[in-house]
Amino acid sequence: MRHRRGQGQVRQMFAIREQIALYCSGTGQKGKNMNRDDILGRWWVKSWRQVYDDGRVKYPMGQNLTGFITYDATRMTCMIMRSDRPGFLTGGQWDAADADKAAAYDSILSYSGTWDLAGDTISHNVDICLFPGWVGGTQKRQAELKDGLLSLTARMEDGTPEARTAYLEWVRE
Protein backbone atom coordinates (compact mmCIF):
# COMPACT_ATOMS: atom_id res chain seq x y z
CA MET A 1 0.00 0.00 0.00
CA ARG A 2 1.27 3.42 -0.89
CA HIS A 3 1.89 5.95 1.88
CA ARG A 4 0.02 9.22 1.30
CA ARG A 5 1.62 12.40 2.49
CA GLY A 6 -0.45 15.04 4.23
CA GLN A 7 -0.77 18.44 2.59
CA GLY A 8 1.41 19.97 5.29
CA GLN A 9 4.22 17.49 4.56
CA VAL A 10 3.95 18.12 0.82
CA ARG A 11 4.10 21.91 1.31
CA GLN A 12 7.09 21.52 3.64
CA MET A 13 8.89 19.31 1.10
CA PHE A 14 8.14 21.86 -1.65
CA ALA A 15 9.49 24.71 0.51
CA ILE A 16 12.67 22.77 1.26
CA ARG A 17 13.17 21.92 -2.44
CA GLU A 18 12.70 25.58 -3.37
CA GLN A 19 15.24 26.70 -0.74
CA ILE A 20 17.78 24.16 -1.98
CA ALA A 21 17.24 25.22 -5.60
CA LEU A 22 17.71 28.88 -4.70
CA TYR A 23 20.85 28.09 -2.68
CA CYS A 24 22.34 26.05 -5.53
CA SER A 25 21.46 28.58 -8.21
CA GLY A 26 23.06 31.56 -6.53
CA THR A 27 21.27 34.83 -6.01
CA GLY A 28 18.52 35.69 -8.41
CA GLN A 29 16.21 38.66 -8.54
CA LYS A 30 13.08 37.52 -6.77
CA GLY A 31 9.74 39.17 -7.33
CA LYS A 32 10.01 41.35 -4.22
CA ASN A 33 12.90 43.15 -5.95
CA MET A 34 11.29 43.09 -9.38
CA ASN A 35 8.77 45.52 -10.70
CA ARG A 36 6.39 45.25 -13.63
CA ASP A 37 8.89 46.91 -15.98
CA ASP A 38 11.34 44.02 -15.42
CA ILE A 39 8.79 41.59 -16.84
CA LEU A 40 7.23 43.60 -19.68
CA GLY A 41 7.80 42.30 -23.19
CA ARG A 42 7.92 38.97 -24.98
CA TRP A 43 9.72 35.93 -23.55
CA TRP A 44 10.41 32.73 -25.52
CA VAL A 45 9.98 29.41 -23.73
CA LYS A 46 13.25 27.61 -23.07
CA SER A 47 11.96 24.65 -21.05
CA TRP A 48 8.90 23.26 -19.29
CA ARG A 49 9.02 20.28 -17.01
CA GLN A 50 6.69 18.98 -14.35
CA VAL A 51 8.03 17.14 -11.31
CA TYR A 52 5.41 15.01 -9.57
CA ASP A 53 5.47 14.39 -5.84
CA ASP A 54 5.95 10.67 -6.50
CA GLY A 55 9.16 11.39 -8.47
CA ARG A 56 7.84 11.26 -12.04
CA VAL A 57 9.12 13.92 -14.44
CA LYS A 58 7.11 14.87 -17.51
CA TYR A 59 7.61 17.32 -20.35
CA PRO A 60 4.03 18.29 -21.35
CA MET A 61 5.03 19.57 -24.81
CA GLY A 62 8.18 17.47 -25.18
CA GLN A 63 11.72 18.72 -24.73
CA ASN A 64 11.75 20.44 -28.11
CA LEU A 65 8.92 22.92 -27.58
CA THR A 66 8.25 26.43 -28.86
CA GLY A 67 6.16 29.35 -27.67
CA PHE A 68 6.11 32.61 -25.82
CA ILE A 69 4.62 34.57 -22.97
CA THR A 70 4.01 38.29 -23.43
CA TYR A 71 3.36 40.87 -20.72
CA ASP A 72 2.16 44.37 -21.60
CA ALA A 73 0.95 47.05 -19.19
CA THR A 74 -2.28 45.24 -18.35
CA ARG A 75 -2.51 41.90 -20.20
CA MET A 76 -0.55 38.70 -20.68
CA THR A 77 -0.72 36.01 -23.34
CA CYS A 78 0.91 32.59 -23.24
CA MET A 79 1.17 30.10 -26.12
CA ILE A 80 3.30 26.95 -25.92
CA MET A 81 3.25 24.03 -28.34
CA ARG A 82 5.16 20.95 -29.36
CA SER A 83 7.65 21.71 -32.13
CA ASP A 84 6.71 18.41 -33.77
CA ARG A 85 2.97 19.15 -33.72
CA PRO A 86 1.39 17.00 -36.45
CA GLY A 87 -0.96 18.35 -39.08
CA PHE A 88 -4.46 16.99 -39.49
CA LEU A 89 -4.73 13.72 -41.40
CA THR A 90 -8.34 14.41 -42.33
CA GLY A 91 -10.38 17.52 -43.04
CA GLY A 92 -9.65 21.09 -42.12
CA GLN A 93 -9.98 23.38 -39.13
CA TRP A 94 -13.69 22.69 -38.55
CA ASP A 95 -14.31 19.27 -40.13
CA ALA A 96 -11.25 17.24 -39.11
CA ALA A 97 -11.72 13.86 -37.46
CA ASP A 98 -12.15 13.87 -33.68
CA ALA A 99 -8.80 12.07 -33.26
CA ASP A 100 -7.02 14.87 -35.15
CA LYS A 101 -8.75 17.51 -33.02
CA ALA A 102 -7.83 15.68 -29.80
CA ALA A 103 -4.18 15.43 -30.87
CA ALA A 104 -4.18 19.16 -31.67
CA TYR A 105 -5.62 19.94 -28.21
CA ASP A 106 -2.93 17.82 -26.52
CA SER A 107 -0.09 19.60 -28.35
CA ILE A 108 -0.72 23.24 -27.38
CA LEU A 109 -1.45 25.39 -24.34
CA SER A 110 -2.78 28.90 -24.83
CA TYR A 111 -4.35 31.39 -22.47
CA SER A 112 -4.62 35.12 -21.86
CA GLY A 113 -5.85 37.61 -19.30
CA THR A 114 -4.83 40.44 -17.03
CA TRP A 115 -1.87 40.06 -14.70
CA ASP A 116 -0.54 41.33 -11.38
CA LEU A 117 2.80 41.19 -9.58
CA ALA A 118 2.86 41.00 -5.77
CA GLY A 119 6.16 40.13 -4.13
CA ASP A 120 7.56 37.17 -6.05
CA THR A 121 4.13 36.03 -7.28
CA ILE A 122 2.78 36.75 -10.75
CA SER A 123 -0.97 36.16 -11.01
CA HIS A 124 -2.48 35.44 -14.42
CA ASN A 125 -6.20 36.28 -14.25
CA VAL A 126 -7.44 34.08 -17.08
CA ASP A 127 -10.32 35.20 -19.31
CA ILE A 128 -9.45 33.29 -22.53
CA CYS A 129 -8.07 29.75 -22.57
CA LEU A 130 -8.01 26.60 -24.67
CA PHE A 131 -8.69 24.67 -21.42
CA PRO A 132 -12.14 25.82 -20.20
CA GLY A 133 -11.32 24.97 -16.58
CA TRP A 134 -8.95 27.95 -16.27
CA VAL A 135 -11.38 30.62 -17.57
CA GLY A 136 -12.43 32.92 -14.73
CA GLY A 137 -9.64 31.65 -12.47
CA THR A 138 -6.19 32.82 -11.45
CA GLN A 139 -2.97 30.98 -12.26
CA LYS A 140 -0.26 31.92 -9.74
CA ARG A 141 3.44 31.64 -10.61
CA GLN A 142 6.46 32.14 -8.37
CA ALA A 143 8.89 34.31 -10.34
CA GLU A 144 12.65 34.73 -10.40
CA LEU A 145 14.69 36.78 -12.85
CA LYS A 146 18.37 35.87 -13.10
CA ASP A 147 20.93 36.42 -15.88
CA GLY A 148 18.21 37.26 -18.41
CA LEU A 149 16.22 34.11 -17.58
CA LEU A 150 12.67 34.39 -16.23
CA SER A 151 11.78 31.31 -14.17
CA LEU A 152 8.13 30.70 -13.36
CA THR A 153 7.19 27.93 -10.94
CA ALA A 154 3.68 26.72 -10.15
CA ARG A 155 2.27 24.20 -7.72
CA MET A 156 -0.56 22.15 -9.23
CA GLU A 157 -3.25 19.71 -8.06
CA ASP A 158 -2.12 19.48 -4.43
CA GLY A 159 -3.73 16.66 -2.50
CA THR A 160 -4.19 14.41 -5.53
CA PRO A 161 -2.06 11.64 -7.09
CA GLU A 162 -1.24 14.17 -9.83
CA ALA A 163 0.24 16.77 -7.42
CA ARG A 164 3.28 18.37 -9.02
CA THR A 165 5.44 21.41 -9.50
CA ALA A 166 5.74 22.97 -12.94
CA TYR A 167 9.01 24.68 -13.85
CA LEU A 168 9.08 26.99 -16.88
CA GLU A 169 12.08 28.97 -18.09
CA TRP A 170 11.85 31.89 -20.51
CA VAL A 171 14.39 34.08 -22.35
CA ARG A 172 13.59 37.62 -23.47
CA GLU A 173 12.94 38.21 -27.16
What's the number of domains the chain is made of? 1
Q: Which helix or strand (DSSP H or E) is residue 103 part of?
A: helix 98-106
Specify if 25 maps to a domain.
yes
Specify if 61 maps to a domain.
yes
For 90, the domain range is 7-172
Q: Is the pLDDT of residue 26 over 50?
A: no
What is the pTM assigned to this prediction?
0.79
The residues with which 96 forms a beta bridge, in sequence order, are: none
- Residues 6 or more apart in contact with residue 84 via CB below 8 angstroms: 62, 64
Q: Is the pLDDT of residue 13 over 50?
A: no
Specify if 2 maps to a domain.
no
CATH of residue 153: 2.40.128.280
159 phi/psi in degrees, rounded to 5: 80, 5
For the segment 60-81, what is each residue's pLDDT rounded down to a tens digit?
999 999 999 999 999 999 999 9
What is the rounded end-to-end Cα distance, in angstroms, of the chain? Answer: 49
Q: Is the pLDDT of residue 16 over 80?
A: no
- Write the Ramachandran bin of 26: left for phi over 0, alpha for psi from -120 to 50, otherwise beta: left
Specify if 51 maps to a domain.
yes
Specify if 53 maps to a domain.
yes
Q: Angle at Cα 147 formed by Cα 35 and Cα 123, nearest 5°? A: 35
Specify if 1 maps to a domain.
no
pLDDT band, very low/low/confident/very high, at 23 (cuts 50, 70, 90): very low
